[in-house]
Amino acid sequence: MSDSLGALRRRWPEAAEVIEGTRRWCVLTADALDVFMGMPPGCVDALITDPPYSSGGTFRGDRNQKTSTKYVNSDSLDTCRVEFTGDNRDQRSFMAWSSVWFGQALRAARQGAITCVFTDWRQLPTMTDALQGGGWVWRNIVTWWKPGNRMQRGRFSGSAEYILYASKGVPSEGQESPQNVLAIASVDGEDKVHIAEKPIELLRALVGVAVPGAVVLDPFCGSGTTGVACLETGRSFIGIELDGHHAEVARQRLAEAEADQRNILFPAIEPPTQRSLEDYLVEDAADLPQ
């Protein structure tokens, strides 16, 4: 592995250190395909990611709108509205692009690695085709049901997104065995630091399916929620994010999560209070028989 890490170490040394086990996490500001090209074969245990959907409308022109227009309710005044990139591909280019990065991720994955990839109902057929076109073995669909979403009279609610579960060959035995319907509320608008941010409870459930101590790769890491879940569950994390603003937010969140974990493992110990000789003499005198 050390020899094959040479190309990665020269350009992205932090990622090489995570793979070698000398570092817990890193977030690279880069295009995922560029990083994939430098990764050695079979170096990660799981691919858990939330790629741009290139969705958000009924017609082709709808997907060309700003992400804040497509994915933020007009009455959600307090939610994050910082735009993110890569969400405006037409259907053919989205299918081709997804197949390519799925294939590159497969090459970087170890035998038995698993993947959990988010999508919505519009792109579900395309993403399942791209997943299999990239060489992954499709194994299940997980439904993320978001209780509390607003209903519309006479229509089914739009209260679910989906996670494709697949593996490279026979999946390695993970740590947790969750149901394939997960009822977890969305992140409140005022708490979001990314328009498409997913709740940490949801990512903990997905990360739990990976082997203990896994190296988890997220090539579209956004604000770093997957990475936070990895650190909280004892796994390592390589995040890639094209947008510089969101990459920096992810680094800040991961640094805070790492500090929190360190404090849990090694809590601060209050120094002993300074006591005078007179204090000890008084206590000793009190213990003497009267």
Domains of the chain: 3-287 (3.40.50.150)
The mean pLDDT value for 101-111 works out to 98
> 142, 136, 133, 131: which is closest to 112 by C-alpha?
136
What is the residue whose two structure tokens read 């022109």? 61
Q: pLDDT tens-digit profile of 3-17?
A: 678 889 999 999 999
pLDDT at 83: 54
- What span, in angstroms and rounded, lies between the C-alpha atoms of 99 and 97? 5
β 236-241/160-167 pair status: unpaired
What is the percent of the chain with per-residue pLDDT over 90, rounded to a whole number?
Answer: 67
CA distances in angstroms from 206 to 33, 251, 277, listed in the order given: 23, 21, 58
pLDDT at 67: 47
CA 270 to chain centre: 36
The mean pLDDT value for 104-109 works out to 98
Q: Is the pLDDT of residue 65 over 70?
A: no
pLDDT at 68: 46
Q: Looking at per-residue confidence, does 260 or 58 come out higher?
A: 260
pLDDT at 69: 45
Q: Is the pLDDT of residue 197 over 50?
A: yes
- What span, in angstroms and rounded, lies between the C-alpha atoms of 134 and 131? 5
pLDDT at 64: 55
Mean pLDDT of the chain: 87
Overall pTM surpassing 0.95 (yes/no)? no
| Length reported for the chain | 290
